[in-house]
A = this chain, B = another copy of it.
Amino acid sequence: MFNAKVYITLKNGILDPQGKAVKGALQSLGYDEVNDVRIGKFIELQLNTGQREVAEERIKEMCEKLLANLVIEDYQYQLEEVAS
């Protein structure tokens, strides 16, 4: 069994209004050192798969087909084997 951690981030150059709002909120709370905020998604999945290669291939496919919108987003993932 594998645990997958997937990080979905907006590509550089894509506007992030949610990040901008959070930056404004932090600054209005007095955190003036905050320069830039970008908000993405963090997805944790459990995969019932025995082999790392299979898990890796499948998680890539899932990212490209459903989890990330590759026009505006990038993805990264980490796979970790766990006892099932």
Q: Which residues of A contact B (CB under 8 A)?
A: 1, 7-9, 19, 22, 25-26, 29, 31, 33-49, 58, 61-62, 65-67
Q: B residues within 8 A CB of A41?
A: 39-42
Cα-based distance from A66 to B40 in the complex (angstroms): 16
Cα-based distance from A62 to B45 in the complex (angstroms): 27
Beta-carbon contact of B39 and A46 below 8 Å:
no
Copy tally for this chain in the complex stands at 2
Q: B residues within 8 A CB of A33?
A: 47-49, 58
Most B CB atoms within 10 A — which of A41, A44, A61? A44
Of B1, B26, B43, the residue contacting A39 (CB under 8 A) is: B43
